[in-house]
Amino acid sequence: MSRQDKNPADGTPNSGVVTKSRAKTKKPAMYKVLMLNDDYTPMEFVVHVLERFFAKSHEDAVRIMLHVHHRGVGVCGVFTYEIAETKVNQVMDLARQHQHPLQCTIEKDGTE
C-alpha cells in the first residue's frame, strides 16, 4: 500500500472510491423589475421602453404594456441586483426627460 492510499490524517487505508469535490457555487439572488401603471404615460412610450431597455419584441412589449395597463403592475424582466437597478434608473431617467410619470421598481424574486 503506497502512501497515497492511506488517509493522511490517521494512516487508515482509503476505500478506493473516487469522489469529486467541487467548490460550492451559489446562484445570485434575482430581482424582478416591475413596471407600474399610471394615467398619463403614453402607451407607445411604455412599449418603446420595453423594447429598448428590456430587449422585448414589439409583440411582447405590447403584451406587457397592456398587462400593466389593465392590472396595475407587471414584470419587465428578472436580473441580478446591479442590473435590475441599472434598468430602473434607465427607465426613470428617460421617463423624466419626457416628463412622463412612469414608475419602475425592484422586487426580490421569491423563486430560488
Site for ligand TYC in 2-41 (CB under 6 A): 35-39, 41
Grid cell, residue 109, equals 424574486
What residue type is 105 in one-letter code?
Answer: T
Q: Which is nearer to ligand TYC, 31 or 104 (CB)?
A: 104
Q: Which is nearer to ligand TYC, 33 or 41 (CB)?
A: 41
What residue type is 69 in one-letter code?
Answer: H
Task: For the chain, report the end-to-end CA distance as a whole number of angstroms.
Answer: 47
d(CA 103, CA 70): 15
42 is a site residue for ligand TYC (CB under 6 A): yes
Phi, psi of 111, deg, nearest 5: -80, 100
Q: Which of 34, 61, 65, 91 binds ligand TYC (CB under 6 A)?
A: 65
CB of 17 to ligand TYC, least distance (A): 57
What residue type is 88 in one-letter code?
Answer: V
Q: Which of 69, 86, 90, 106 binds ligand TYC (CB under 6 A)?
A: 69
For binding to ligand TYC (CB under 6 A), which residues are involved?
35-39, 41-43, 46, 65, 68-69, 102
